[in-house]
Amino acid sequence: MHQGRHFLQIPGPSPVPDRILRAMDMPVIDHRSADFAELGRAVLEGSQKIFQTTGPVVIFPSSGTGAWEAAIVNTLSPGDRVLMVETGHFATLWRQMAGRFGIEVDFVPGDWRRGADPAVIEARLSEDKAHAIRAVMVVHNETSTGATSRISDIRAAIDRTAHPALLMVDTISSLGSVDYRHDEWKADVSVSCSQKGFMLPPGLGFNAISDKARDASRTNRMPRSYFDWEEMLKPNAKGFFPYTPATNLLYGLREAVAMLLEEGLDNVFARHQRLAQATRAAVTQWGLEVLCREPSEFSPVLTAVMMPPGHDADRFRKVVLDNFNMSLGAGLSKVAGKVFRIGHLGECNELTLLGALTGVEMGLSVAGVPHRPGGVDAAMKVFEQRTQSNSSPHLKVAGT
């Protein structure tokens, strides 16, 4: 039997803050009423601020996978060709989904240790003189590996080729945690969901869409019903939805948006960067290796840690769960059993993370995993240095 809070340190679903839980603790209301219309307008407009767009954001009662499907069926036709990059497990799943809809996927192979390479995308588009490629589809933050692709650089690469392909971005684990600018980076479809940076339970999927993407939706030949953008956008104009919405999740979404905007998006992004830096400092001190190899692509959302040869990551995770009541993320598909993932997103601060890192360090000892002690101390130094730099040089000790 464990006492105290369970440490949910997976990279999503992230812990739901008490403030959001209280906001959702409401009776269901008539989803055709004026009160609901007020709620609907608030969450639709608030979501635009998080995506950093003035264009429409469509909210589906679905998982992130449903939002993926919506992006495909509203923009592409069977037989269309798209360009994707193998950045990890979730890029591979998106490829598989596209294939089921008859999309021809040009899948650039990757080693699961880096984000998408803008230079490779630029080269592939430059070779496509006939403009057969209809879309470039990229996972912003690859949750399975802890590598974040540089979407602004990818946008610049596309622009240099003057290629008309749509830019479609999976922001499922990055939105609300990593700087993402739908309008500035000229993304055409940004896909996301509720249980990561929004700090909500699973159940909402999002598509932020550009005018170019909406034009594509008017001429593409993919059947759709539940995920049809136009059927959503018509009632959305007055704060309503075409079918029964996830009302209580929308109450939570309104509160989540308020929390993110109160902290300030720049402060939210900086906090995640600090937490990630401290985690990597701990991993380095332990003598373990971060899966992501490119420092400019280190994820602010999670850190994937490689196990030493001969040691199983899933056995280690079980030791941590059984002894210290903490859940760490599993390695997925190609890195199953080889990697564990430390989530540091959503409602996570310095003390929460230090507690999690303490659990990891104790778990390494209990599981007999070779490591150097002092990882938690290394993380503390990262936080202490920031605190000291923010302190006023004129601050006096009380009584002096």
pLDDT tens, residue by residue, 123-149:
999 999 999 999 999 999 999 999 999
Q: Which residue has the tokens 């991993």?
A: 283
Query: Residue 120 is which amino acid?
Result: V
Q: Give strand pairing partners of 84.
A: 107, 137
- Whole-number pLDDT of residue 400: 33
Compute the Cα dihedral for 108, 113, 115, 117 and give only its sign: negative
With 50 as the cut, is the pLDDT of residue 394 above it?
A: no
Tokens at 323, concatenated: 């002894």
With 90 as the cut, is the pLDDT of residue 27 above it?
A: yes
Domain 7-13+264-389 annotated CATH 3.90.1150.10:
yes
**pTM (2 d.p.):** 0.95
> What single string gives the DSSP state of each residue in 144-209?
TTTEE--HHHHHHHHHHHT---EEEEE-TTTTTTS---TTTTT-SEEEEESSSTT-PPS--EEEEE
> Do residues 74 and 81 make contact, with C-beta atoms less than 8 angstroms apart?
no
Alpha helices, H only, the chain: 18-24, 34-51, 64-73, 89-100, 118-127, 151-161, 211-219, 229-236, 247-263, 265-286, 313-324, 350-366, 375-390
- Give CA–CA dist 167/155, Å, rounded: 8
Q: What is the DSSP letter of 102?
A: T
Q: Give strand pairing partners of 167.
A: 136
- Give CA–CA dist 400/394, Å, rounded: 12
Residue from 65, 99, 66, 64 nearest 81 by CA: 99
pLDDT category at 391 given cuts 50, 70, 90 is: low
- Which CATH number applies to 18-262? 3.40.640.10
Question: CB under 8 Å to 138, separation ≥6 — which residues?
Answer: 84, 85, 87, 91, 116, 149, 151, 154, 167, 168, 169, 170
pLDDT tens, residue by residue, 283-316:
999 999 999 999 999 999 999 999 999 999 999 9
pLDDT tens, residue by residue, 53-90:
999 999 999 999 999 999 999 999 999 999 999 999 99
With 50 as the cut, is the pLDDT of residue 395 above it?
A: no
- Whole-number pLDDT of residue 239: 98
What is the average pLDDT score of the chain?
96
Tokens at 29, concatenated: 């209301």
Query: Residue 263 is which amino acid?
Result: E
Q: What is the mean pLDDT of residues 147-171?
A: 98
Tokens at 28, concatenated: 């269901």
Q: What is the mean pLDDT of residues 366-379?
A: 98
Q: What is the mean pLDDT of residues 163-190?
A: 98
With 60 as the cut, is the pLDDT of residue 397 above it?
A: no
Q: Order the strands of the 7-9 sheet from edge to edge.
A: 7-9, 326-330, 339-343, 302-306, 289-290
Q: What is the mean pLDDT of residues 1-21?
A: 95
Which helix or strand (DSSP H or E) is residue 136 part of?
strand 133-139
pLDDT tens, residue by residue, 108-124:
999 999 999 999 999 99
Residue percentage of the chain with pLDDT more than 90: 96
Domain map of the chain by residue range?
Answer: 7-13+264-389, 18-262
Residue from 102, 81, 84 nearest 93 by CA: 84
- Whole-number pLDDT of residue 110: 97
Q: What is the mean pLDDT of residues 266-280?
A: 98
Asked if the bond preceding 223 is cis, omega within 30° of 0, the reply is no
Q: Do 7-13+264-389 and 18-262 share a fold?
A: no
pLDDT tens, residue by residue, 331-342:
999 999 999 999
pLDDT category at 2 given cuts 50, 70, 90 is: confident
